[in-house]
Amino acid sequence: MDVFRLTGPSQLRGVVDIRGAKNSVLKLMAASLLAVGRTTISNVPAILDVRIMVELLVRLGCSVDYDAEAGVVSIDVPELVGIQADYELVRAMRASISVLGPLTARMRSAHVALPGGDAIGSRGLDMHQAGLEALGATVHLDHGYFVAEAPEGLQGTEISLQFPSVGATENLVMAATLAHGVTTISNAAKEPEIVDICSMLVEMGARIDGIGTPDITVTGVSELRPVDHRTVGDRIVAGTYAFGAALSGGDVTVRGVGLDLMPNIAIKLRDAGATVDPLDGIELGDGTLGAGFRVRGADRPKAIRVATMPFPGFPTDLQPFVIALNSVAEGTGLLSENLFEARWRFVQEIARLGAKVRIDGNHALISGVEGLSGAEVEASDIRAGAGLVMAGLRAVGITEVSGIDHIERGYENFVTNLRSLGADIERVEKRDILTFE
Ligand code: EPU
């Protein structure tokens, strides 16, 4: 069992390159199933979740070339693909459910294991189910599998989502691209990753209007063609380093994601006393031109009040970093979580570093302290894990974060990047007392 061992305090200073968004690329890979032939996706981060999606596509019968260093994945999709996403894979990565829409649309049948409980709430599939049923599929549960069948193909329809669910919007848009007739989706999600997926679908020949708005219209076509597509930058990874700079009093230039993808994040960083400057038309790590920004943190951040909301609101995935920043800030901060009901396991862990957080329903009230003290803590999900590492930057002494496989699901080169930004962090092996020889 490996852990991340961090010796603090330290400040983040330097430049970090960010590649494509995990929450986009996994769905772009699923969308490739909609077209026979070779789809190539670039700006792919080298993370565990991409490997899991590669494995899923291979098991569905695709041949996949994945060059992690170059950040390129090429997927050869055959005429006939499998229809089953195994429990083993869905349990390892919930985003596996994004093959549901493409398989139902193209193969007219999908058997996708129900994801088990995630550490961040129940995360139902009711909107995915209701949407597919509205499109004419029959849906039932069979031995733990979500089974969708549409032997005659899907039929365009009107869908109104109760909540702008990211996953349901993506699955239903992908399904509707090959349906007969017109589908309208109202109260759709507007996240940059949704825009990226819709853009790739349009490049593939899909007819989609209202991309990036709550009202999406998809006019079905009979087939799509494979394409080459570059993944949008990861605004959550960018936000992670930005908060790391702000809470540690550092100075970090983030390349590969522009502030236009992070409107509310920049506002909150400035509220915390950081200086945030956009950098446009800069050379990125791979030599292409793109956007970025620079964050210079105050010596001690000021407490901020944040409510998580669907895009363009403040993203739920950055809430651990808000709590971490408020933990060492001047004053009392507030974080209201409006998307997931059980994202508080992080709070028990950061309390081990000396943070003072009180939970009341979906609100966390955080009283800033002068400094944290290093301790052993455990990551319960990707963002919680990265949040504990960032909090460790402000903790005196050694912070050891276990459960790092969660972090590696979503952050490429995390230790290497943090070391190049000046953090004293290493990955070390630790014997698990439950492992007997
Ligand atoms: N929901 C339902 N029924 C549904 C669908 C969603 O009740 O049919 C509820 C969920 O239980 C949850 C809320 O709606 O409370 C939001 O769910 P949503 O569908 O929007 O999220 P998701 O697609 O499951 C994606 C990201 C998450 C990110 C959320 C919100 C991926 C793979 N995951 O999840 O990212 O937090 O959108 O922005 O795209 C992460 O990267 O660490 C992560 C958890």
Residue 244 is classified by DSSP as: H
According to DSSP H, which parts of 339-421 are helical? 345-351, 382-392, 404-410, 414-420
Q: What angle do CA 163, 239, 30 make, to 5 degrees?
A: 55
Strands (E), 288-331: 289-296, 305-307
State in Å: Cα 355 to ligand 1 middle.
27
Pick from 331, 328, 306, 315: which is nearest to 246 by CA? 328
The token duo for 23 is 């929450």
User: Ligand 1: which residue has its CA nearest to atom 35?
Assistant: 317
Ligand 1 touching residue 168 (CB < 6 A):
yes
Domains 2-18+234-429 and 22-230 fall in the same CATH topology: yes
Tell me how far the alpha carbon of residue 273 lies from the centroid of ligand 1, in angstroms. 30
Quickly count: other Cβ atoms within 10 Å of residue 130's Cβ.
17
CA of 424 from ligand 1 middle (Å) equals 33
Nearest CA residue ID for atom 39, ligand 1: 23
Residues 6+ apart with CB under 8 A from 332: 303, 326, 365, 366, 367, 368
Ligand 1 close to Cβ of residue 24 (< 6 A): no
Nearest-atom index, ligand 1, CA of 382: 42
pLDDT tens-digit profile, the chain (437 residues)? 899 999 999 999 999 999 999 999 999 999 999 999 999 999 999 999 999 999 999 999 999 999 999 999 999 999 999 999 999 999 999 999 999 999 999 999 999 998 865 554 556 889 999 999 999 999 999 999 999 999 999 999 999 999 999 999 999 999 999 999 999 999 999 999 999 999 999 999 999 999 999 999 999 999 999 999 999 999 999 999 999 999 999 999 999 999 999 999 999 999 999 999 999 999 988 888 999 999 999 999 999 999 999 999 999 999 999 999 999 999 999 999 999 877 889 999 999 999 999 999 999 999 999 989 999 999 999 999 999 999 999 999 999 999 999 999 999 999 999 999 999 999 999 877 666 65
Annotation says 271 is catalytic: no
What is the domain partition of the chain in residue ranges? 2-18+234-429, 22-230
Tell whether pTM > 0.95.
yes
Atom 40 of ligand 1: nearest residue by CA position: 317
The correct answer on CATH 3.65.10.10 for the domain covering 22-230 is yes
**DSSP code of residue 380:** S
Ligand 1 in contact with 387 (CB < 6 A)?
no
- Distance of alpha carbon 408 from alpha carbon 127, whole angstroms: 29
Q: Which CATH class is domain 2-18+234-429?
A: alpha beta
